[in-house]
Amino acid sequence: MKKVIFLADVYSKDYPGGAELTTDAIVSYAPEGVEIEKKYCRNLTEQDIFDNKDSNWVVCNFSSLEDKMKILLCKNVNYSIIEYDYKYCIYRSPEKHLAATGKECDCHISSAGKINKAFYGYANHIWFMSEVQRQLYLDKLTLLKAEKTSVLNSVFNEGNLRFMTSIKDNPKDDKYLILGSNSWIKGTEDSINFAKTNNLNYEVVNGLPYHEMLIKLSTSKGLIFRPLGGDTCPRIVMEAKILGCDLKLNNNVQHKDEKWFKTPEKIITHIASQMVDFWSTYE
């Protein structure tokens, strides 16, 4: 197998966001003997590209990638894209674009948007986080071919899956957790209003270390998560499902109706299957 180069704006050591944690998890499933290299979009040079023409490239979040580097990648290397949100939009969310500007997103017809369309179009494969997200891209970016796209969903490494399995039967209290976040899309205030309207006992949590947050979920009755725009495959919802929480979601949780999400057991089996499919494409 060729060397696989991951290219991203940041990694989990810089910012432990959902996309970055999923990228880490994907790397953790790499078959034995695969050489992995990580590069930053902001530091990518022409020489990096020319020196690694024979490698497989996996492009993750790329907001800081210069347009000229996108064009060079299109012309010179085999690359795929893991699409975590909606980077054809400058707000990375069509709903946030509408809320911020009062207009429907038309970023794909701007000069920068046309380069991004080509960048998606030239990719060997695009891995999406949900079926809804995939279809929205196919509808918006007509250059995309459906057969060159797959739905990957969010991924957890084996250690974290074992940890969640070990605590999923903890006794639960009567509280619903709400994720406290300054991110517009996470809809913290809407979730609080939902809890108040429905007379649900709730607690807003933020800033907990990862495993403490999992333990907190495992001892809570449920999770209220009602994002303001399309959230492609939020990890906290998957974690809450694995940990046996009652879920109060809205339709902006885009993976919630997919078949693999029906039970905790199906989630875990699905992740393992997806990782086999993902890495087999680079053999």
The residue extents of the domains of the chain are: 4-152, 158-268
- The answer to which of 106-115, 169-178, 225-234, 264-273 has the lowest mean pLDDT is 106-115
pLDDT of residue 112: 75
User: Phi and psi (nearest 5°) for 181?
Assistant: -145, 145
pLDDT of residue 1: 64
- The answer to which of 1-10, 186-195, 226-235 has the lowest mean pLDDT is 1-10
pLDDT of residue 160: 96
Cα separation, 149 vs 100, whole angstroms? 30
Look at the domain 4-152 and name its fold: Rossmann fold (3.40.50)
Between helix 158-167 and helix 210-218 the angle, nearest 10°, is 30
**pLDDT tens-digit readout, 72-83:** 999 999 999 999
Contact between residue 242 and residue 165 where contact means Cβ atoms under 8 Å apart: yes
Average pLDDT value for residue range 91-113: 90
- For the record, the structure tokens of 111 come out as 């000069």
Average pLDDT value for residue range 91-112: 91
**pLDDT tens-digit readout, 32-74:** 989 999 999 999 999 999 999 999 999 999 999 999 999 999 9
pLDDT of residue 152: 97
- Find how far residue 153's CA is from the centre of its chain: 7
Percent of the chain with pLDDT over 70: 100
> Coil, strand, or helix at residue 205?
strand
Strand order in the sheet with 4-8: 36-40, 4-8, 56-59, 78-83, 125-128, 149-151
Cα separation, 195 vs 204, whole angstroms? 11
Strand ranges in 115-245 using DSSP code E only, listed in sequence order:
125-128, 149-151, 176-179, 202-205, 222-225
Among candidate residues 274, 275, 205, 272, the one with its CA nearest the CA of residue 240: 205
**pLDDT tens-digit readout, 124-181:** 999 999 999 999 999 999 889 999 999 999 999 999 999 999 999 999 999 999 999 9
- For the record, the structure tokens of 6 come out as 């991951």
Q: What average pLDDT does the structure give for the chain?
A: 95
Positive or negative, the CA dihedral 191, 196, 198, 204 is: positive
Contact between residue 44 and residue 97 where contact means Cβ atoms under 8 Å apart: no
Among candidate residues 141, 9, 118, the one with its CA nearest the CA of residue 63: 9
Helix/strand/coil (H/E/C) assignment for every residue in 66-125: CHHHHHHHHHHCEEEEEECCCCCCCCCCHHHHHHHHCCCCCHHHCHHHHHHHHHHHHCCE
Which residues are within 8 A (CB) of 152 and not within 5 positions of it... i.e. 6 or more apart? 82, 127, 128, 129, 274, 278
Look at 61 and 2; give whichever has higher pLDDT: 61
